[in-house]
Structure 1
């Protein structure tokens, strides 16, 4: 099962499974609160983490992303982006303008004093032309991550994310279920997921994939591979025990894995923050022969 976004007026014309209709298939992001929560979670996790310096670095970026949403919001006419079969914000359906580069400049200015390594990356990016930055952004959006230096990608993706999350929050379309073989890509922008989250509240027990770019979340049934749909020989690894809130869900069929984060076991979980904080679990899982099927926007290298 995949998800397609259609204009509101077409929703009643669709005939879909009644059970699926009752499940919220898609949640658009709330940028005004999302980055604030992420920054707070990163700061909290940094207190007792072996990756404390990096978590605090990521928190600084998240705080600046929150400031951008507050001080430099964008409003774009998205009226005609739901009229075909493409994800509405995918690069093939919604061409990237260079307006996101203003966000990049703001994020780069966040670090007037920093380490030599970060300073060098910032200076490299600041020396890029508008065209060079645009080309690097398009490479990343197309999944050609190897064409952009990993340290540069962190800054570029952070700017793109705060741009696309605001666009996603303004989409008026509704989600319906459809048959597709690309359900592991975001139905809003066609990017890869960071991890999956088992939610609390009105959607307790339901699993959603979280987009690495636009921050939307879409429904995927549990106990199945989010990459190949396999439902057999799914394994779960954790660093603590079977009650851990953070596990890797591993598929023997395609040898891939993705984190699964359970809010019922820890209601304070934030997808990107907790994914970074549990990098040791990634290392242990990859030692078992599995490859990650998603990306974290702060871990490109």
Structure 2
């Protein structure tokens, strides 16, 4: 049986991600406070997705034409003003409020003090993959977490998964048009060794051949870089797939090495790999993780 070309996120997406983050808290003590906070946020994402009714429901046939013609049905440019994502943000903040330390509480207070227009401006920065101002940057991951809940819910309600994107658009999500956060090499029998790009917004996964760069499409100049422990073995089941043709890299989570490897959680935990590549100065990241906003 051929593996599916496009898959939509499952109902347990955030629950599994929170579990993986809690594992990584122990495994990566240098980032334990940060990873514990993100585990709380992702657990709150699961609760909002599970318990909160959507603030806006599209008509049953709202996305039929887009699906028919191979266009991303959930493009954020058309939907941001309709989807009531700010309700998901409020629920998310309530979900984390009693489970975080004093250092994070000012973030919640600052977001609650924003007007609806100011929150939409933050959302646009997230969706456009901008780094935002120095003052905005700490707030944007929480905004991104709420947007992810909103778009995952919308994707789950689609009548079917979109078709695989055309070659000229294969670096962008076929569901919402956003860039990938990373890729995943799966380990299940029916798609063992198959690579999928994982959307940074709606968590859709779409197949891309392993022998080509996810950004420029070239296949002959890829190298793989990772972090090793003191015994010379991989520290985490994640690597940077770097391309010497376009000088960019995208991380890849290796479920062949660890069945619970997650393209977002392991991406966050492998921040040292990003720092190492930044110091070398050769490769720039092509992926976008909105739960970790860094400056230009």
Q: Deviations over 1:225-279 (max 9, x none)?
A: 1011011221111112586631110011111001111111111212211111111
Q: Structure 2 CA distance, aligned partners of 1:113 and 1:39?
A: 14
* 3-state SS of paired residue (1:186): coil
Query: Separation in 2 of the partners of 1:206 and 1:165?
Result: 23
CA distance in 2, matches of 1:174, 1:101: 26
Alpha-carbon RMSD across the aligned residues, in angstroms, is: 2.2
Q: Supply the distance in 2 between the matched residues of 1:137 and 1:78 (Cα, whole angstroms).
A: 26
Between 1 and 2, higher relative CO (CA 8 Å, sep ≥ 6) is seen in 1
2:266 paired residue number = 274
Aligned residues: 280
CA distance in 2, matches of 1:175, 1:90: 12
Tell me the CA shift for residue 139 of structure 1.
Answer: 3.0
Do 2:237 and 2:266's aligned partners in 1 also have CA atoms closer than 8 Å? Answer: no
Shift in CA distance, 23/48, structure 1 to aligned 2, threshold 3 Å: closer
Pick which of 121-130 and 68-77 moved more.
68-77
Aligned mates of 2:84, 2:161 — CA distance in 1: 27
- Give the TM-score normalised by the residue count of structure 1: 0.86
Q: Which runs of 5+ in 2 are unaligned?
A: none
Mapped to 1, the partners of 2:78 and 2:109 lie a distance apart of 33
Question: What residue is the counterpart of 2:37 in the other structure?
Answer: 57
Q: Tell me the equivalent position of 1:299.
A: 292
- Segments of 5+ residues of structure 1 without an aligned counterpart are 1-20
Q: Which residue of 2 aligns with 1:107?
A: 92
Taking a change above 3 Å as real, the CA distance of residues 162 and 276 of structure 1, as seen in their structure-2 partners, is: same
Tell me the SS of whatever aligns to 1:136. Answer: helix
- Structure 1 residue 79 corresponds to structure 2 residue 61: yes
Q: Does the alignment pair 1:257 with 2:242? A: no
1:133 Cα deviation from its structure 2 partner: 0.9
CA distance in 1, matches of 2:120, 2:131: 14
In the TM superposition, residue 93 of structure 1 has moved relative to its aligned partner by 4.1
Compare 45-54 and 76-85 and name the one that shifted more: 76-85
1:36 aligns with 2:15: yes
